[in-house]
Chain A
């Protein structure tokens, strides 16, 4: 492929401009989070008269007696728990479905695909009362169970598509080599699924970390409340303390940004793993 240097520079410049555009919200995030409370409504977008670093301390103290640090830990527990659970359940289920007899496999496959299509918001009310009765409201486990249920269909869909492309030879070789079913899955199949596992981890991780609706309903007011719920605590019934909200948001995206910078290469590989 030959390209003129002008086209190349043009493309680079375009990409840079686009990247700058992406930075604009971060700028506002930063300046609003440093505004004194009095200035928020008077001059919401201007540069603050005085940088109010105390906003961060106040935001860090959190709401409902849960500090932002604790909320972040809660988010982390729920996210990691959900990711692990979805990976485990999704990969095993997909393997069984993809390697099973045609009829049963197809039936289960469509069962899970239906799970992707149905909007879960419809079932929130009955779900809430059911989960409440078995003690799964207001704690980490409840959310992990809930997200596993929501995200497993998608992961089964991704995993089973990949398993179908795996030649049966590996499993057959392992079987002749005397490996049990469990060992075949653990030692041979699961490692081969790594590209999908990466994709599923990122997908589930992003959804769970950023989700607000479910976490608000199932966790608000509990010591297990997660970051989005904690931040929402700054938005009161009569007044919203936007500077604190913004400060909290700024703190809460820090670990994600760090993760992206750290795992950039692996993430891109994971997303493009299927296309070679």
Chain B
């Protein structure tokens, strides 16, 4: 077990691709760190550098304060679970699990003991003499886990280990991996591009984009205090609602001016301290779906048009449109592009129509009209404000 430090670590591939830039990240002893980000953001590269499978071209990597840059993979004492498991096809399950122990010259009877224990933990005992080909996807995944937990490595590395499983199995294995990690207490670096996985599994999450670390912190921290538009748009499902407005400070308090009208936030509205610096500037407004409500109460409300209701007990999702510019900054587009190409198209279409999509998350028994106009109320204290030019949060 060890404390892992990326100290200004970078990776430039031979073809010039700068896959990771100036990564500064500390993983505490025993911590479960999830690295998440869209495809091609450099997650795997960072992980492979930690494993010693990819040479580090910039900066230093420290295990317990000692630089390991020059240490080969076999001497780093880490265990890795690959996306497609990389089980040796010609070996039985028990030989697969025993392989790392045998490679390190452990005595035969101790190997047998440990393999038996690992198999027991993972419920693989009855499959020990099978070949990987004769196992289901979930069982193969367990064997890959077994190969990792059978010894006590300093670090677990996992690269999208659940992406080949179906949804149900994925949920189950997710819980199992968390349990194993907690009982073994091994420092873990876990890569995924699924933000739900990241939110549920990580003690802390590091979000990357284009080789650059965007923000690292506890899941709640990232959810409640995203550092920029990218993190805001990436974390959360359904995603944070975003629209553009001009921020103005008037005698009757701050207002947000959208192409659809003026939104009075009220004299007492608790805006971030630096919001004043953005007087008369365009900002991107962020609102989580669960912070929107119906009915008449205190606080400002947005005039929206209901287009679709999705019921998903215990909650329902209202899909609405408001008249306000859709932010088309590269950060927002990058997140949309990671979903799929049509999401970018939708975004562009909204931008042309000067409208923004807003999703409200309400209890399933909230009475809602079938369609038509609707007032969406929110608490100004829940607003996230981002600088429209660089996407950084306004604190």
Contacts and interface: CB of A to CB of B under 8 A. Distances in A.
Contact of B86 (A173, A178, A179, A187): A173
Nearest to B81: A173
Contacts of B79: 176-177
Nearest to A180: B74
Given A175-B74, A176-B73, A178-B74, A170 B86 contact: yes
A176 B84 contact: no
Contact of A172 (B53, B88, B100, B147): B53
B51 interface: yes
Given A169-B84, A173-B80, A178 B100 contact: yes
A194 B91 CA distance: 13
State which size class the interface on B falls in: 20 to 34
A108 interface: no
Contacts of B89: 192
B103 interface: yes
B118 to A, nearest CB: 14
B104 interface: yes
B53 A176 contact: yes
Contacts, number: 62
Interface string A158-185: 0000000001011011111111100100
B90 interface: yes
Given A183-B103, A192-B90, A177 B82 contact: no
Q: Which among B72, B77, B78, B82 has the greatest number of chain A C-beta atoms within 10 A? A: B82
A179 B90 contact: no
Q: Which among B53, B72, B74, B104 has the greatest number of chain A C-beta atoms within 10 A? A: B74
A137 B53 CA distance: 48
Interface in B76-108: 76-80, 82, 84, 86, 88-90, 99-100, 103-104
State which size class the interface on A falls in: 10 to 19
Q: Which among B53, B77, B86, B90 has the greatest number of chain A C-beta atoms within 10 A? A: B86
B103 A177 contact: yes
B101 to A, nearest CB: 9
B84 A174 contact: no
A187 B72 CA distance: 19
Q: Which among B51, B77, B79, B90 has the greatest number of chain A C-beta atoms within 10 A? A: B90
A188 interface: yes
A175 B73 contact: yes
A191 interface: yes
B73 to A, nearest CB: 4
* Majority SS at the chain A contact face: helix
B80 A176 contact: yes
Contact of A178 (B84, B88, B104, B157): B104
Contacts of B157: 176
B74 A173 contact: no
Contact of A179 (B76, B77, B103): B103
B99 A177 contact: yes
B88 A170 contact: yes
A174 B90 contact: no
Nearest to A172: B53
Given A169-B82, A192-B89, A175 B53 contact: yes
Interface string B279-310: 00000000000000000000000000000000
A174 B104 CA distance: 11
B84 A188 contact: no
B91 to A, nearest CB: 8
A194 to B, nearest CB: 8
Contact of B73 (A169, A172, A188): A172
B99 A179 contact: yes
B149 to A, nearest CB: 13
Contact of B90 (A169, A173, A175, A191): A191
A180 B82 CA distance: 19
B88 A176 contact: no
Interface in B29-83: 51-53, 72-80, 82
A169 B74 CA distance: 14
A187 B104 CA distance: 14
B213 to A, nearest CB: 24
B78 A176 contact: yes
A187 B96 CA distance: 11
Nearest to A171: B86
Contact of B100 (A170, A177, A188): A177
Contact of B51 (A170, A176, A179, A187): A176
A191 B95 CA distance: 14
Nearest to B88: A188
Contacts of B53: 172, 175-176
A116 to B, nearest CB: 29
A163 to B, nearest CB: 15
Contacts of A170: 86, 88
A206 B51 CA distance: 46
Nearest to B74: A178
Contacts of B86: 167, 169-170, 172-173
A231 B104 CA distance: 54
For the complex of A and B, 4 pairs with smallest distance between CB atoms: A177-B100, A169-B86, A173-B86, A179-B103
20 contacts: A170-B86, A170-B88, A172-B86, A173-B86, A174-B99, A174-B103, A176-B74, A176-B78, A176-B157, A177-B100, A177-B147, A178-B74, A178-B100, A178-B103, A187-B88, A187-B99, A191-B88, A191-B90, A192-B90, A194-B90
Interface of A: 167, 169-170, 172-180, 183, 187-188, 191-192, 194
Given A172-B82, A177-B100, 12 more contacts: A170-B86, A172-B53, A174-B88, A174-B103, A175-B73, A176-B73, A176-B157, A178-B77, A180-B74, A180-B103, A187-B99, A192-B89
